[in-house]
Amino acid sequence: MGIRVAVAGASGYAGGELLRLLAGHPELDLVAATAHTQAGQPVAAVHPQLAGLDLVLRATDPATLADADLVFLALPHGESAALAAALPPTVKVVDLGADHRLRDADAWARYYGGPHAGAWTYGLPELPGQRAAIAAATRVASTGCYAVATTLALAPLIAAGAVRPTDVVVVAASGTSGAGRAAKAHLLGSEVMGDLSPYKVGAHQHVPEIKQATGATSVSFTPVLAPMPRGILATVTAVPTGDADPREVLKRAYADAPFVHLLPEGAWPHTAATAGSNSCHLQATLDVDSGRVLVVSAIDNLGKGAAGQAVQNANLMLGLPETTGLSVFGVAP
């Protein structure tokens, strides 16, 4: 028997990706998967890509999850806190939702609304000191998808003093799976195909998380819905403070990070190259006209942006190598 794990919210896109990763994980035994409206359905009926995974979705109940050593919460924002509080303190928890990411209660109220559940250990291992903090934690809040793509591009530059923490501008395109699996008219194929559309302009909920994780003090963030199922491409620009080479800063910061890859000079990230992986691809340069530092970041929003990141955190919490059960390589074509 391996380490017993369970997934709450297993019927969604992130939950399905979690099931796929856990089914192939050499050290973890998937003992329960829960859902709301899909409870009672075989996993393969909800996620056809998981044919052969002999598991039936059960109702989301603390008693169903309490027998696991670690529980993943892949629930809508605002639903994780109550369920986590009902689990025994001996059960480790990784929350893929936003409930426990923000330290600032005012920021939570402004961007999410409702009561603030308190902050857990932040689940981005590549930040300084976070691997050890995650390994020692019993409750970890995984990152938002846009937040991880932006933070990996920006945080080392601010930490090194290479760019100003003010006047950070981010434009990021995401695949439709980032909006969840619920039926919505604006996500229909006929609406999305052949179209790019901005949304939540100037008020996206990942802004306070990006500021908290990177040390930025002002961020202008424009998210764009792209006609693809998965992936994020973020373009991050900031004002340099001197003549530091941003590529060298990123190279030093991620020298020992197995999932972050600074591409060779002149090669630019592609979302397709990260699909199915837990990797982030980065490239940096100076804009020849404005002089701003420019970093492009690509991830799979369901991988490093959600399920892969959650498994990476769980590996650390369980004393396993952080790469266990995760691929650094994408799937192509």
For tokens 């330290």, the residue is 103
Q: Given this model, what pLDDT does residue 180 score? A: 74
Residues belonging to the active site: 145
pTM: 0.95
pLDDT (tens, 9 = 90+) of the chain, 333 residues, equals: 689 999 999 999 999 999 999 999 999 999 999 999 999 999 999 999 999 999 999 999 999 999 999 999 999 989 999 999 999 999 999 999 999 999 999 999 999 998 999 999 999 999 999 999 999 999 999 999 999 999 999 999 999 999 999 999 999 999 988 777 776 777 777 788 889 999 989 889 999 999 999 999 999 999 999 999 999 999 999 999 999 999 999 999 999 999 999 999 999 999 999 999 999 999 999 999 999 999 999 999 999 999 999 999 999 999 999 999 999 999 988
- The pair of three-digit structure tokens given for residue 150, joined into one six-digit string: 């932006």
Other residues' Cβ atoms within 10 Å of the Cβ of residue 36: 15
Cis peptide before 333 (omega within 30 of 0): yes
Q: Given this model, what pLDDT does residue 178 score? A: 79
Q: Given this model, what pLDDT does residue 167 score? A: 96
Burial of 119 (0-12, 13-18, 19+ CB in 10 A): middle
The gap from C-alpha 118 to its chain's centroid, in whole angstroms, comes to: 19
Position 162, amino acid: A
Report d(CA 43, CA 54) in Å as an integer: 7
What's the full length of the chain, in residues?
333
Q: In 3D, which of 220, 248, 305, 247 has the Cα closest to residue 271?
A: 305
Burial of 128 (0-12, 13-18, 19+ CB in 10 A): exposed
Q: Given this model, what pLDDT does residue 236 score? A: 98
